[in-house]
Structure 1
Amino acid sequence: MDSTYVGLEVFQCQFERFSFEHSWIGDRVGELMLGPRGGGMLEFQHATVFALPEGGAHEVHGDILAWYLAHGGPSGSLGYPLTDEKRTPTGHGRYNVFENGTVGWLPGTGAFLMGSVRTA
């Protein structure tokens, strides 16, 4: 068994668990794609789920997903998501935290980078 196969098995378990716990994302519509740094991503009807081998699958969807992918997705400067999409404290907006920054969304504004991209 090679390391790629083992990696695919790990991702498959992460994605299956995530889709069971978050049924709103719908059915799987794509094939597992391997990403940078050994990560993976899988498209569902209503979200794309991203994961790293060390664990932690997180969904990104809607305008935030479109913005994230247009800016390089996990290969871009933000890296992988660290959270699922969350509501802002006021309840008027949404956001996802990524390894190197946060993307927010507000009605009438759309998706945008909150602050700047963190660098090492």
Structure 2
Amino acid sequence: MLRLLTRLIGFLLLAVGFMALIVDGTRSIAGGGLMVTTLRRGAADAAPAFYQSIQSAVAAKSAFLWDPVLTTLMLLPVSVALGGLGALMIIFSHKQEATNRYWRR
């Protein structure tokens, strides 16, 4: 059941990443140049109050964590971040095949 839920969430994240890629591609074609939505801008546009509260809470705990690490991660495109996370969830939800059976040697 947990594997099914993980795979479902992975497919949803992969679909949202693909939709973000289509939106960025459409915006780039219309603008005549490459335009990419970063995680920071996507989160700030989707839920500005939540993004500000998370930023202030993490910065209050550790300024080292927010500045170099999360700032670098927040520069990733939404399509790459969500698509990659969804693909990893799908890959890790697959059942491992038993290789130690004596008749498969």
Question: By percentage of residues, which structure has more strand?
Answer: 1
> What is the TM-score of this pair, normalised by structure 2?
0.27
> What is the TM-score of this pair, normalised by structure 1?
0.24
